[in-house]
A and B are shown apart, each in its own frame.
Chain A
Amino acid sequence: MHDQPAPSSPQAPQGPRPSGGPPREGRPGGGPGGPRRGKRQYFRKKKVCRFCVERIDFIDYKKVEMLQPFVQDRGKIMPRRMTGTCSRHQRWLGVAIKRARNIALLPFATEL
Chain B
Amino acid sequence: MEERLYDLIFICMPTTPEEEIAKLIATVEQAAAEHGGKIEKVEKWGTRKMAYRVAKQREGFYVYVSLHSNQGELIKELERRLKVSDSVIKYMTVRLDEEIKRQQKLVGRRERRARRRPRKPVAAATPPSGEAAAAASAPESH
Q: Which residue numbers of A lie inside 8 Å of B, CB to CB? A: 16, 31-32, 43, 46-49, 51-53, 55, 57-58, 61-62, 84, 86-89, 99, 101-108
Contact = CB atoms under 8 A, between A and B. Distances in A.
Contact of B134 (A43, A86, A102, A105): A86
A89 B64 contact: no
Contacts of A101: 51
A47 B94 CA distance: 32
A17 B57 CA distance: 51
Contacts of B137: 48-49, 52, 86-87
Interface string B117-129: 0000010110100
B60 A58 contact: no
Contacts of B13: none
Q: How large is the interface on B (under 10, 10 to 19, 20 to 34, 35 or more residues)?
A: 20 to 34
A101 B52 CA distance: 9
B141 A43 contact: yes
Interface of chain A, helix or strand or loop or mixed? loop
Contacts of A55: 110
Nearest to A51: B134
11 contacts: A48-B125, A58-B99, A86-B137, A88-B134, A89-B134, A101-B51, A103-B90, A104-B50, A104-B52, A104-B54, A108-B52
Please name the 4 residue pairs, one residue from A and one from B, whose CB atoms are nearest each other, closest first: A107-B51, A86-B137, A104-B50, A57-B103
Nearest to B64: A62
Contact of B107 (A31, A57, A104, A106): A57
A89 B134 CA distance: 8
A61 B92 CA distance: 12
A102 B135 contact: no
B14 to A, nearest CB: 12
B19 to A, nearest CB: 24
B92 A102 contact: yes
B52 A57 contact: no
B92 A58 contact: no
A48 B134 CA distance: 10
B103 A105 contact: no
B52 A103 contact: no
B3 to A, nearest CB: 18
Interface in B1-56: 7, 9, 11, 50-52, 54
